[in-house]
Every structure is written in C-alpha cells, then in structure tokens.
Amino acid sequence: MKNIFPLSHIKNIKLFYILTILTNCWFISANWIFFWTRLMTYKQLGIVDASAFAFGLLMEIPTGAIADMLGKKKTLLTSLFISACSVLFITFSNSLFSFWAGFFILQLGWALYSGTAEAFAYDTLVDHKKEKSFDQVISTSGTLMGITSISALALGGIAYAINFRLSHFFWGIAYLIGFFLAFGLTEPKMDTEKFSLKAYFAKILEGVKYLFQRSLRPFLVIILVLMGSDYMFHWRLIKPAMGMMFHFDANMMSILFTIFGIISVGVIKFLPQIRRLINDTLGLYLLAIVMAVGFGLAFFDLGYWGAIAILLIWLAGTLTQPWISVVVNQKIPSASRATTLSTVALITKIPYVFTAVIAGQMLQEGKLNVFSLGVAIFILTSILVSSIVMFIQKRPAQ
C-alpha cells in the first residue's frame, strides 16, 4: 500500500490523498450545461461563466494572504465548507440570479483551495524531513485526480439520468465529506512560504522575464496558444457545448467523455517514447496542428462523427501540459520553473474572460461552429508566427 500511496503512513498525507479524490469528483462534467441551460440562455451562460471566472482570478491574490492569517488547515476547512455550500445552493437553485450567486461564491472556495493543499502537503513533509519525496506525493495525487475524474464522469451520467439535479448534489456531498474529514488534519509546524502582494507580482514578473528569454522565445507563441486553447476547451464552456452541437445528449456525453478520458490516460504514458521519435519543437507544432484540425472539423455538421473532432482536441490537450512542462524544465533554471509555469497558466487563462462571452453569444445564435473555425485559424496562424520567430532567431547564427 505504501508503494501505491507514498508516505500515506503520515496522517496529513493520507488525508491529502483523500481530499484530492473528494475535490475531483466531477460528476457534472458531461451534464452541467444541460442543467444550467434550463434556467438561462447560452448567452447568459457565457456571461455567467466569464464573470465568475474573472472573479475567481482576482480572488487568487487575497486568498494567499488569507491562508497566512488563518493557517493552512483553517483555510482548507473554509474552502471545503464554502465549496460544499455553494454547490448545494446551485443544486437547488431555480433562478438565474441564484445560480450566478452560487457560482461566484464557489470561485472563492476554489481560490482558497488552489495551492494551499499542495503547500500543506509540502510543509507536512518538511516537518517529517521527507520533502525530497514531494514529487512522489504530487505524482500520486495527479494519478488519483485522473482516475477520480473519469470514474465520477461515468457515475455522474447515471445520476443525471435519474434526476437532473442529482449529479450536482453528489458533487456537493463530496465537498461536504471532505470538509468533515479535514478536521483530522494537523497544522504543520513549518511554514515554508509567507504570502505578500509584492512577492506575488514579483513572481509573475519573474515568470514573464523567463518566458521571453532567448532559449524559450521560439516556443512562446505556440506554448501560450496551446495552453490557452486547451484550458478553454477542457475546463469551461466549449467542450460540453461542442458535444451538444454534435447532437449528443447528457447520457451519450458521459459515455463519450469517459471513453476519451481513459484513452487520454493511456496516451499520456507514451509521451517519453513519442519524444524519442520527434523533437520538442516539432512535437508542439504537431499538437497545435492536431488541435487546429479538431476545431476546424467542428465547423462542419458531422453529427455523431463530430466525436472525432472532440477526440483530436482532447488528445492534443492531454499531451500539451506535460510536454510544455518538459520544455520549460529544459530551458529554465530549476529555481524558476514552477514560477514560469504558473505564470504561463495565468496568462493563458485571462483571455477566457472575453472568449466565454463570445462563445456563449455564438452558441445562442447557433454559430458555435464559426467560433470553432476562428479558433482553428488562430492556432494555425500562431504556428506561422512561431515559425517566423524561430527563423529570425536562428538566422544570425547561419
């Protein structure tokens, strides 16, 4: 068991694994859009998603200070309680305003949890002089996230078929169970990092500086476009909306997304072998091309064959994050890698505030396929721009 769950004999780490499972019970992944659009138009959905998302980004700043003031255990407890209450509030909502309010509050719960759980696990390992094993703990946590997400996706489809509110209810209950279990956590004695607004923005500026350094510059455009497109598709409105565009209902989407999730877990294991066959530059370009083809195919009314378009985008996105992490690890000093990656993640999320509103409007007008075509053209253009930048950078050396 210790080999499967490294350092799980430490109570905090065992609970960290359990909380990882409970906070990734995405029972709603394939069906939330069907529930939400019972009470709002697609245009309103885009506005709700964009505004709540913007609020969540803003909350990332003060929540770090809150974690310092309350302590990480109390911050996690607060996060889980807020998340549970807001999800259950959404579950039983019957109006657009109540949905909006619940979703806004949920962003605060997520912001409080973001980074705090990992920092809590790391500080616990420092207390036990096991911090060198942190990568094993995080790797195991990532595996649990994937397995839980896929399992919850399948179970959520069954729950939605029974009652359209049930998958949301189970989602809220998972957070509530996590809240009660979190009382068993012990605040680490070690606090390896204190939040300050100055340090927060200094980290972002440091990350931007490394992004534009010469060794990473040829990859910059393609990295930002790949991560931005993947986030927009995987984590927000576009994926379920595209499924609806191809005439999949909630049950069919649950089955389809579960299958694609299993396929992606299998594919990602072959990344080392793929990288031995092609270099990183070509690999990232190919991922961008595959993603562009997927969005381009979504322009056409393919019916159920549209699943191919979704799969192409899904697989390209699955390989995007780990491949980019490899590139950054090779090009950036070890002390600045995490900062650079987190800066990339922040920069690529910001445009979604605007694209969500546009996507919602176009979905309302039945023109999401035009939006998809626009994304495909944008990705292909980014490949061209990135190629030109790389050519210019290499030219003086010739």
The DSSP result for 290-317, as a single string, is HHHHHHHHTTS--GGGGHHHHHHHHHHH
pLDDT in tens for each of the 398 residues of the chain? Answer: 556 788 888 899 999 999 999 999 999 988 998 999 998 998 898 898 888 888 887 776 666 666 666 788 888 999 999 999 999 999 999 998 999 999 999 998 988 887 788 878 888 888 888 878 877 888 788 888 888 988 998 899 999 999 999 999 999 999 999 999 999 999 887 665 565 667 667 766 776 777 677 667 667 788 888 888 888 888 778 898 899 899 999 889 989 988 998 888 788 778 878 888 888 888 889 999 999 999 999 999 999 999 999 999 999 988 887 887 777 766 666 556 556 666 676 777 777 778 888 888 888 888 889 999 999 999 999 888 888 877 776 665 54
Domain boundaries, the chain: 1-186, 196-398
Tell me which DSSP letter residue 334 carries. G
112-115 contacts at long range (C-beta below 8 A, 24 or more positions apart):
112/59, 112/63, 112/66, 112/67, 112/75, 112/76, 112/78, 112/79, 112/82, 113/23, 113/76, 113/79, 113/80, 113/83, 114/60, 114/63, 115/64
Please tell me the predicted confidence (pLDDT) of residue 398. Answer: 47
Architecture of 196-398 per CATH? Up-down Bundle (1.20)
Q: Give helix then strand counts, H and E, for the chain.
A: 18, 0
CATH class of 1-186: mainly alpha
Please tell me the predicted confidence (pLDDT) of residue 80. Answer: 96
What angle (nearest 5°) sits at the alpha carbon of residue 380, between those of residues 375 and 381?
95
Domains 1-186 and 196-398 fall in the same CATH topology: yes
